[in-house]
Amino acid sequence: MKIVIIDYGAGNVKSVQFALERLGFNASCSNDEQEIVEADKVIFPGVGEAQSAMAEIRKFGLDKVIPNLKQPVLGICLGMQLMCRYSEENDTDCLGIFPVDVLKFKVDFKIPHIGWNQIYGLKSHLLDKVAENSYVYYVHSYYVPDNEFSIASTDYGLLYSGAIRKDNFYACQFHPEKSGDAGEQILRNFINAI
C-alpha cells in the first residue's frame, strides 16, 4: 500500500510519518502531483497560518490536485481547516472541499486552545474502536463550527467539529499523531478500514 503525506512546507510531516512507522506503516512525504495522485491513501497535515499555507499549496499547484483526489484523504489540524471554503485567519480562501467556513475562537477561555479535550458524537469508520469521550490533543486558535459533515464534536466554550467527513475526505482538528491510543486507532482505521 502506498501512503503519501503531502509536504508543502507547512505540515507536521515528520511527526505523522514517525507515528505511522510506529504502527508498522511506511509513508513517503511528497509535493509531487503524480506521486500524490497514485497513492492509495493521502494524509494532508498542517501547522501554522492559513494564508501562507495556501500560498505554498498554490505554489506547488496542489490547490488543483487535492480537491480532485479520489482515494481516501485525511486532513490534520490546519490541513482540516484548509479543506474548508474560507478561513477568517487573514481572510483566506481555502480549497473548498467542505462548504463551511473556519472561524476565530471568541470565547472566555485561553486561546490558542492547547491540550487535551474530549470528542463525542462519534460516527464514521474513521472512529471505529475509539471510545466516546476519548481525549485527543489540540493546538488551534480557529475552529470549524459543528455542521452536517461533523463526525466528532468537541466543546471549548462552544461546540465545534473535532472531525469532519465528506465522501472520500476525512479530517481531524486534533493531532491523531499526538493523541495517544485514540489517535493511533484513528490512524490505523484510516489506513486499514477506510
Look up the pTM and report it: 0.97
The distance in angstroms from the start CA to the end CA of the chain is 13
pLDDT in tens, 10-21: 777 999 999 999
Phi and psi at residue 79, to the nearest 5°: -55, -40
For cell 470528542, what's the residue?
119
pLDDT in tens, 64-104: 999 999 999 999 999 999 999 999 999 999 999 999 999 99
**Is the predicted pLDDT of residue 160 greater than 80, yes or no?**
yes
pLDDT band at 107 (very low <50, low <70, confident <90, very high): confident
Indicate the number of domains in the chain: 1
pLDDT band at 35 (very low <50, low <70, confident <90, very high): very high
Range of the domain at 77: 3-192
- The one-letter amino acid code at 3 reads I
pLDDT band at 145 (very low <50, low <70, confident <90, very high): very high
Residue 42: the pLDDT is 98
Distance CA(158)–CA(21), nearest Å, equals 35
Over residues 153-157, the mean pLDDT reads 97
**Is the predicted pLDDT of residue 141 greater than 90, yes or no?**
yes
Distance CA(21)–CA(63), nearest Å, equals 28
CATH number of the structural domain spanning residue 29: 3.40.50.880
What does the DSSP assignment read for 94-136?
---SEEEEEEE--SSS-SSEEEEEEEBS--SGGGTTPPTTEEE
The residue among 96, 49, 41 whose CA lies nearest residue 69 is 41
Residue 12: the pLDDT is 78
**Is the predicted pLDDT of residue 193 greater than 90, yes or no?**
no
Per the CB < 8 A criterion, the answer to whether 134 and 119 are in contact is yes
Residue 10: the pLDDT is 77
C-alpha cell at 108: 472566555
Per the CB < 8 A criterion, the answer to whether 149 and 100 are in contact is yes
Phi and psi at residue 5, to the nearest 5°: -100, 120
C-alpha cell at 117: 479535550
Q: Cα torsion for 193, 179, 143, 83, to the nearest 10°?
A: -40
Per the CB < 8 A criterion, the answer to whether 83 and 165 are in contact is no
Annotated catalytic residues are 77, 175, 177
Residue 9: the pLDDT is 87
Mean pLDDT of the chain: 96
For cell 491540550, what's the residue?
115
Residue 187: the pLDDT is 98
Residue 93: the pLDDT is 98
Distance CA(69)–CA(85), nearest Å, equals 17
pLDDT band at 40 (very low <50, low <70, confident <90, very high): very high
Over residues 147-164, the mean pLDDT reads 97
